[in-house]
């Protein structure tokens, strides 16, 4: 255990104090010594463990998981969970700044990072959900909602005082919340809007945002009632301001990776640095998170300066639709192993300008600011999303696109064929479609992916060669 | 007699519509689910046509070039019809009103829109349907639709015209309700298959003609000999969608000796349990009727309990002894909800059979075996 914690960046002085907590957590979630041995192997296989930034991120993930599992035991009186609910995390964070008795997180993120990515031991959680109503098979229920149901069914996380979901992107999270309320007696709140416009440049955008803002204000009122503390506009701005450094540091790292050739760090780390920040809503943890990102940035910059790459210079560069896997590093690792430079994903891509600086001008109403996710590519109709993907692919100059569509997300996944035909037509680069589950590692099929990536790489190399020959 | 009249009318309907189109009348399609007020389309002088065809694997397969497997077969069928261009109704439209309901139907609207052959008006349906803000939002959208229809047709949509349309469609709903309620008798004179076909006919037929047909049929059913009561398993059908052409389940139940006496189906069955209030602000009336005063579909927020309570009421009112849950493959909200229904119905000792369809002929054999066994099980309970 101690060497595992050391590997994950725990300082020796804190190991003594944290060891009893972490032992208790691992015992509760069924982590054995054998699992710890397996985890060390996984970490050394899939991550650059010599990088301090990576170890710092892993450390925070483990500490944040402990905070979640032990929340009730450690005196948290009010627990709020978010389920696919962008924006609500800011309100929860605001409440956490006012009271040590409030705890909030997205449990699937914490378990995805630790029980999924590190331990590779999420299958029982999914199976627990499938034994109840989110059955396995062709229906393809989203792995994210399965994690919530499975974690609650297995008693791995405390029952919350309220679970917040949202209908900005999907129906499955609100429906799951509905059933959790009816069947397990968990109070829920769903905020919503109505996605009936072409793109967020539509003249009716204000109505869509207006409905979302009203609905979010309803959430604020409900959270205030549950927790007994007021949420003021200033509290929300305070949280959003605190998050700016983190956003800026992430963007800087993302940009450095996407603009480097050779790819300086394995693409398995994309999921880590995109997601580890989301394992805690507590703004007191933000300086540690920013430090981890900045540490990694400097280490990556050093590699870039030395010309170090995890794949060869000139390797085919790809962009992936949708965010990287939340629970399993194997697909990204396979891309690295096969010499394909996976340089960026659709995570937080804003039409029409690509990645967006956190320092841009904000709306006057903090609740409007909480709706920012509605402007990201995955929340758009194909008319908004596809030009954004094409624009970004041009900007970062990729040789191919991996459209790994998360089958659980009907809204984003159902664009797959349109994306392929539009990108192929407009950019002439190959697009590989992959039926994918972003949360459930059980879908991973090494042989199939390997064969398909080989063909994909060959297509990209042939096209590069042709383009090069033409230019002579 | 009514059946013959209706069959002839439907056979000639595409040609009549083409004629009307030539004379400048606009044809406005809309997707099913009873969220698009036909009254507004009718009041504009355009002809409303519900795009409700499905049940065939051909149109599902045709959609493979634009939609991955995880779209429900009804939605794939709608995309397939767009590609195949074989169905006269789908090919004569001047505009489509697409209610933004579930993620699947929303996507087919986006796909039709993306290919740009026809104007798609997206009618926002707030999924938190019961609030004042959501009602206002829907009213705004209905007013926008009204404006758009006026521009399309060149006709002003006056209050009188909306009132007239509400009266007409209320009459149609009332007749469907009356006909449906005759099935509470121990020996229903109209089968589920015929009732569903009538519903589908009402989406294509001239509404005035349809009202006459329904009226005559109701008079006949009301006066007719109910026949001697036979103890057959009386069933409730629940599900997201019964498309025009997707009759396999209804036929199998009938041939197995079961009787579906009432349906609670979101798309494909006209919502007839309530009328629209025909006074005051009529746009507000339509908004309330279509959004708030009806039973929500399963994709709406916090709908499970309300829907379950409604199903339990139907079970009691129609003396139902078993439930057939017929969902389309990949429909995640109905699939989730089937669990809570099965749990609760079990408490009332009402058996439930869950079937999932992808409009594939290959599943008919399996459905037949399961339906036969279920009817036997329910019959055992009845006896």
A465 and A331 share one domain: yes
- The pLDDT, as a whole number, for residue A51 is 98
Q: Which of A171, A174, A196 has the CB atom closest to B123's CB atom?
A: A196
- This prediction has a pTM of 0.95
A179 interfaces chain B, CB cutoff of 8 Å = yes
Identify the closest residue of chain A to B104 by CA–CA distance.
A410
Strand residues in A210-364 grouped as ranges (E): 317-320, 341-345
B235-285 pLDDT, tens digit each: 999 999 999 999 999 999 999 999 999 999 999 999 999 999 999 999 999
pLDDT of B228 > 70? The answer is: no
SS (H, E, C) A81-145: EEECCCCHHHHHHHHHHHCCCEEEECHHHHHHHHHHHHCCCCHHHHHHHHHCCCCCCCCCCCHHH
A210 and A241 share one domain: no
The DSSP secondary-structure symbol of B335 reads: H
**Cα(B288)–Cα(B142) distance, rounded to whole angstroms?**
11
Is the reported ipTM for this assembly greater than 0.85? yes
Residue B356, in any domain of the structure: no
**Cα(B150)–Cα(B155) distance, rounded to whole angstroms?**
5
Identify the closest residue of chain B to A129 by CA–CA distance.
B336
Helix (H) or strand (E) holding A246: helix A233-258
Strand, coil or helix: B50:
strand
**What range defines the domain where residue B24 resides?**
13-157
A191 and A295 share one domain: no
- List C-alpha distances in Å: B154 to B25, B28, B328: 10, 14, 40
Q: Do B140 and A141 make contact, defined as CB atoms within 8 angstroms?
A: no
- Backbone φ, ψ for residue B101 (5° rounding): -105, -105
The CA angle A437-A443-A448, to the nearest 5 degrees, is 110
Q: How many domains does chain B have?
A: 1
pLDDT of B383 > 70? The answer is: no
Q: Which of A135, A414, A433 has the CB atom closest to B71's CB atom?
A: A414
A355 and A467 share one domain: yes
B110 interfaces chain A, CB cutoff of 8 Å = yes
What's the start-to-end Cα distance of chain B, in Å? 37
Beta strand A400-406 pairing with A341-345: unpaired
Residues of A in contact with B127 (CB under 8 A): 167, 171, 174, 192, 194
How large is the angle between the packed helices B364-382 and B248-255, nearest 10 degrees?
Answer: 40
Which of A231, A260, A293 finishes a domain? A231
Q: Do B127 and A413 make contact, defined as CB atoms within 8 angstroms?
A: no
Return residues 123-152 of B near A (CB < 8 Å). 123-128, 133-134, 137, 140-141, 144
Residue B232, in any domain of the structure: no
Strand, coil or helix: A322:
coil
A429-448 pLDDT, tens digit each: 999 999 999 999 999 999 99
**What range defines the domain where residue A171 resides?**
2-231
Could you check whether the bond before residue B205 is cis, i.e. omega within 30 degrees of 0? no
**The domain spanning residue B77 has which CATH number?**
3.40.50.11890
Distance from CA of A267 to the nearest CA of B (A): 26
Residue B141, in any domain of the structure: yes
A172 and A279 share one domain: no
A350-405 pLDDT, tens digit each: 887 788 777 777 889 999 999 988 888 998 899 999 999 999 999 999 999 999 99
**Residue B292 near residue B129 (C-beta atoms within 8 A):** yes
As a whole number, mean pLDDT of residues B208-229 equals 86
- Burial class from Cβ neighbours inside 10 Å (0-12, 13-18, 19+) for residue A229 reads middle
Residues of A in contact with B107 (CB under 8 A): 410-411, 414-415
Q: Do B140 and A207 make contact, defined as CB atoms within 8 angstroms?
A: yes
Q: Do B103 and A134 make contact, defined as CB atoms within 8 angstroms?
A: no
**Residue B227 binned pLDDT confidence (cut-offs 50, 70, 90):** low
Dihedral sign (CA B6, B10, B16, B21): positive
Distance from CA of B104 to the nearest CA of A (A): 7
Residues of B in contact with A83 (CB under 8 A): none
Which of A231, A266, A293 finishes a domain? A231
- The pLDDT, as a whole number, for residue A464 is 86
Distance from CA of A421 to the nearest CA of B (A): 9
Q: Show the tokens assigned to A206.
A: 């204000």
Q: Show the tokens assigned to A121.
A: 């031991």
Dihedral sign (CA A122, A124, A127, A129): negative
How large is the angle between the packed helices B192-204 and B248-255, nearest 10 degrees?
Answer: 160
Residues of B in contact with A174 (CB under 8 A): 127, 301
A282 and A419 share one domain: yes
B288-323 pLDDT, tens digit each: 999 999 999 999 999 999 999 999 999 999 999 999
Return residues 278-307 of B near A (CB < 8 Å). 298-299, 301-305
Q: Do B124 and A167 make contact, defined as CB atoms within 8 angstroms?
A: no
Residue B112, in any domain of the structure: yes
Give percent of chain B with pLDDT exceeding 90.
Answer: 93
**Cα(A46)–Cα(A330) distance, rounded to whole angstroms?**
7
A223 and A123 share one domain: yes
**Cα(B136)–Cα(B148) distance, rounded to whole angstroms?**
18
Residue reference for tokens 């009845």:
B382
A281 and A164 share one domain: no
Q: How many domains does chain A have?
A: 2
Which of A216, A231, A246 finishes a domain? A231
Q: Show the tokens assigned to A107.
A: 């449990």
A176 and A271 share one domain: no
As a whole number, mean pLDDT of residues A194-206 equals 81
């Amino acid at each position: 255990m101690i060497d595992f914690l050391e590997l994950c960046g725990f300082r020796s002085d804190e190991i003594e104090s944290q060891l009893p907590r972490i032992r208790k957590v691992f015992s509760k979630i069924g982590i054995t010594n054998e699992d710890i041995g397996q985890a060390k192997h996984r970490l050394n296989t899939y991550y650059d463990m010599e990088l301090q930034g990576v170890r710092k991120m892993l450390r925070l993930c483990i500490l944040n998981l402990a905070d979640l599992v032990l929340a009730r035991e450690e005196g948290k009186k009010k627990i709020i969970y978010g389920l696919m609910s962008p924006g609500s995390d800011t309100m929860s964070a605001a409440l956490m700044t006012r009271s040590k008795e409030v705890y909030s997180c997205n449990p699937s993120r914490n378990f995805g990072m630790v029980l999924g990515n590190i331990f590779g031991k999420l299958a029982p959680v999914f199976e627990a959900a499938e034994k109840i109503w989110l059955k396995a098979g062709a229906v393809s229920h989203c792995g994210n909602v399965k994690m919530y149901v499975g974690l609650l069914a297995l008693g791995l996380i405390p029952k919350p005082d309220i679970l917040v979901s949202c209908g900005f992107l999907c129906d499955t999270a609100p429906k799951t919340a509905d059933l959790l309320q009816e069947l397990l007696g968990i109070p829920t709140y769903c905020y919503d809007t109505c996605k009936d416009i072409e793109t967020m440049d539509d003249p009716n955008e204000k109505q869509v945002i207006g409905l979302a803002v009203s609905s979010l204000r309803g959430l604020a009122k409900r959270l205030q009632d549950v927790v007994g503390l007021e949420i003021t506009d200033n509290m929300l701005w305070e949280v959003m301001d605190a998050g700016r450094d983190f956003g800026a540091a992430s963007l800087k790292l993302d940009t450095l990776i996407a603009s480097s050739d050779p790819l300086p760090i394995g693409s398995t780390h994309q999921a880590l640095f995109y997601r580890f920040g989301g394992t805690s809503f507590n703004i007191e943890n933000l300086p540690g998170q920013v430090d981890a990102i900045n540490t990694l940035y400097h280490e990556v910059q050093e590699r870039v300066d030395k010309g170090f790459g995890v794949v060869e210079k000139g390797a085919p560069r790809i962009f992936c639709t949708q965010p990287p896997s939340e629970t399993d590093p194997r697909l990204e690792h396979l891309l690295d192993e096969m010499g394909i430079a996976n340089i960026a994903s659709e995570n937080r891509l804003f039409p029409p300008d690509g990645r967006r600086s956190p320092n841009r001008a904000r709306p006057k109403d903090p609740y409007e600011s909480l709706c920012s996710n509605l402007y990201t590519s995955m929340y758009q109709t194909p008319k908004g999303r596809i030009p954004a993907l094409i624009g970004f692919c041009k900007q970062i100059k990729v040789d191919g696109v991996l459209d790994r569509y998360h089958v659980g997300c009907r809204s984003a996944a159902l664009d797959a064929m349109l994306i392929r035909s539009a990108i192929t037509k407009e950019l002439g680069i190959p697009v590989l479609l992959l039926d994918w589950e972003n949360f459930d590692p059980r879908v991973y099929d090494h042989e199939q992916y390997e064969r398909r990536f080989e063909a994909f790489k060959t297509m990209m190399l042939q096209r590069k060669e042709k383009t090069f020959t033409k230019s002579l | 007699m009514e059946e013959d009249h209706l069959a002839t009318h439907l056979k000639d309907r595409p040609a009549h519509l083409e004629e009307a189109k030539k004379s400048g009348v606009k044809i406005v399609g809309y997707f099913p689910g009873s969220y698009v007020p036909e009254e507004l389309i009718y009041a504009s002088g355009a002809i409303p046509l519900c795009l409700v065809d499905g049940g065939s694997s051909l149109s599902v397969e045709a959609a493979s070039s634009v939609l991955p497997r995880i779209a429900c077969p009804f939605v794939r069928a709608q995309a397939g019809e767009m590609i195949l261009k074989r169905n006269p109704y789908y090919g004569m439209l001047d505009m489509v009103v697409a209610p933004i309901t579930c993620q699947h139907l929303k996507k087919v609207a986006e796909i039709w829109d993306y290919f740009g052959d026809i104007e798609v008006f997206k009618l926002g349906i707030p999924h938190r349907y019961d609030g004042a803000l959501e009602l206002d939002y829907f009213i705004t959208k209905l007013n926008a639709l009204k404006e758009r229809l006026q521009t399309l047709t060149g006709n002003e949509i006056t209050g009188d015209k909306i009132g007239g349309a509400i009266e007409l469609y209320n009459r149609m709903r009332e007749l469907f309700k009356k006909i449906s309620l005759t099935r509470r008798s121990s020996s229903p004179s109209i089968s589920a298959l015929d009732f569903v076909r009538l519903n589908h006919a009402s989406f294509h037929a001239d509404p005035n003609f349809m009202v006459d047909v329904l009226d005559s049929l109701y008079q006949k059913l009301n006066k007719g000999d109910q026949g001697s009561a036979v103890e057959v398993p009386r069933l409730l059908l629940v599900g997201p969608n019964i498309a025009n052409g997707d009759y396999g389940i209804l036929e199998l139940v009938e041939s197995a000796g079961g009787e579906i006496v009432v349906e609670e189906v979101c798309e494909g069955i006209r919502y007839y349990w309530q009328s629209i209030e025909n006074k005051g602000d009529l746009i507000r009336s339509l908004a309330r009727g279509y959004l708030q005063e009806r039973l929500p579909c399963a994709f709406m927020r916090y709908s499970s309990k309300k829907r379950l309570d409604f199903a339990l009421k139907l079970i009691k009112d129609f003396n139902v002894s078993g439930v057939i849950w017929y969902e389309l493959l990949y429909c995640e909200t109905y699939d989730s909800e089937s669990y809570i229904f099965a749990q609760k119905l079990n408490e009332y000792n009402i058996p439930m059979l869950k079937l999932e369809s992808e409009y594939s002929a290959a599943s008919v054999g399996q459905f037949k075996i399961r339906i036969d066994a279920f009817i036997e099980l329910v019959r055992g309970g009845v006896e």
